[in-house]
Structure 1
Amino acid sequence: MAEAAETEILRRMARGDGRPGAPEPALRVLGTAIARAAETELGLPVTLGQLDLGAATLADLPERLEERALMALIEAPDGRLGLAVLSPGLVAAVIEMQTTGRLSAADPAVRRPTRTDAVLCVPWIERVLRETDAMVEEGDGWNEWEAEYRYSSTIDDPRLLALLLDDQRYRIIRAVLTLGSGGAREGTLFLAMPEPAARQTGPGAAHVAATHAAAWEADLQAAVLGGTAEIGAVLARVERPLSEVLALAPGALIRLPSDALARVRVEGKGGRFLSHAKLGQYRGYLALRLSGGEVSSIVAQGDFALARAKAVETEDEEAEDKPAPAGAVAAG
């Protein structure tokens, strides 16, 4: 008796949740649901080898996940989010059955899951959730299962969990699966759902939507601000008869308006007008001082920008004596 009690205590310590183990209804319901989903969606024999039930905080979740696992957010009808995680071995088995119709003799090399992997695995995740819902609704005795969670999206970095999930305790379900009729392959399905008490007091769909919107806005801002924008400075544009344009040669003078240096036109891609500017020098470089009033709606930080373009002096005798192309000539 003493030895049996000690063994049970060690099992509880290993799980870290103080629970005596998975109840018989949970083993029966989830085991049957996973087997049905695998047979229906994949034609793959699957049996439940071990089922662990526990609890964890949001901060603990990343430590519970296998490396390079496929992480999928699952969502309740009211917007509350949970997590479904497929181990690399389980992902490989699902993909093999859908692409070749059979399992290879050994586990393939472990790699990071791709978007294509997620697309192929989502139907099986959905079927497991639906099959479990159906068995619980039929009164199979597992009252702790929270129904109607469905696939929402996939994530590729465990650090995003802190941004997407509510900071509360989660009910943990870890199912170790034997894959294939021979049982040579193994995979793990990991589920995390908010505990019922936390669900009743949680911020709900509005908070989840706001969190998604904030994350999307931050990603968009980082992508946009990290890009490049082309700008050009035009001293002036003048029109001349085609005969004069064809007669242009190195050393020819083109008269510019008297205010050209003080009214330089700053343009974006495609000739879109951005601002006027004054041409000058700054620390040995040609520089443009933008007109603050005109660019206040374009430039958010200050009204002064430097267009560093080192002046290049070209001697007339080294220039090729070629006529300019027909059309308007821009001096700039």
Structure 2
Amino acid sequence: MTADPAPSILSRMVGRRPEAAAPGGAVAAGPLRALVTALRRVGEATSTLDLDITERKAVVAEGEVALEGLHAQSLCFLIDPPGLDPHAPPEAEALSRVTGVVVLEPKMVDALIEVQTLGCVDGPGREPRRPTRIDAALAQPFTRAVLGQIDRILPADAEDPRPGNLRTDSFVAGPDPLPMLLTAPRMLRLEVGLTLGGGERSARIVLLLPLPEAPAAVGETLPAERDWAGDLSEVVRAAPVRLEAVLPPLRISLATLTALKVGDVLPLPPTSLMELTLHGGASGVSIPGRHRTGLGVALPARLGQLNGARAVKLGDLPGQPATRAPPPSDLADLTAPPPAPAIPEP
């Protein structure tokens, strides 16, 4: 499906940029390049894995959104922040806000196990299964080597988010517990697609790194909480709405209809000009092909003139008792063309 280049009303309200821009931006360029390079280097060191990169993607996401779309049978390893002292770790709540995770899909885990037990990748793979502690022990050296390469590739003085060490005994079977273990408000999600065994097997590896929160400067006034209801009401009320004034239905014979030609005049009942209906919104008339819904607007009106131009005067409003305006004394004035504006004499 092709994305609409024009941002939606809600997108404009929250100030979201169009999706045409790179979703990860500059913050993802260095870490994504480092992850791809690290996978290539570790893959070359394990030649029987026959690893190749097929796709790469980076995105900055908020909260649990970064954890969406992970395979239910994935093997997950928690990652400590760089420089963490294992002998004096922070409190659990503070640690969860700076914890990352690396996620290996089942076919990737099976390939790592087969290379160490059989010496090669054994065909397209088996049906996904829940990972075990033995699976984690056999997949840990590869994962640890990739993270070590990323740390070497990224410059020491770079401000890019970077992974630390694998947390001891951090094996997690499946992504379901991750929302409780990773509570960073924003995360950088790096996703790389791989082929293994000479293209016989495809898998993904996903690396999630927490992004630091920008501290408020001394004396800085924090922005107040947005009035979402007021913003939404303001934007919606400013949205354009198309209205159409429609005459009552006219019945003619089929013979008359098929004999119509350019210039023919269809006589209207005298009361037609007082029985117009003003349609708008999702009424099904203003937008061709749309079915009429309860959200549409249909108001009675009458045709007239205002300052020499055609005009429509509203009759009854929704929720008010119906009234009928008296017929005009001269209907011919309504059907005649509007008078030409007077030209002042010099």
TM-score, L = length of structure 2: 0.47
Which has the larger helix fraction? 1
TM-score, L = length of structure 1: 0.49
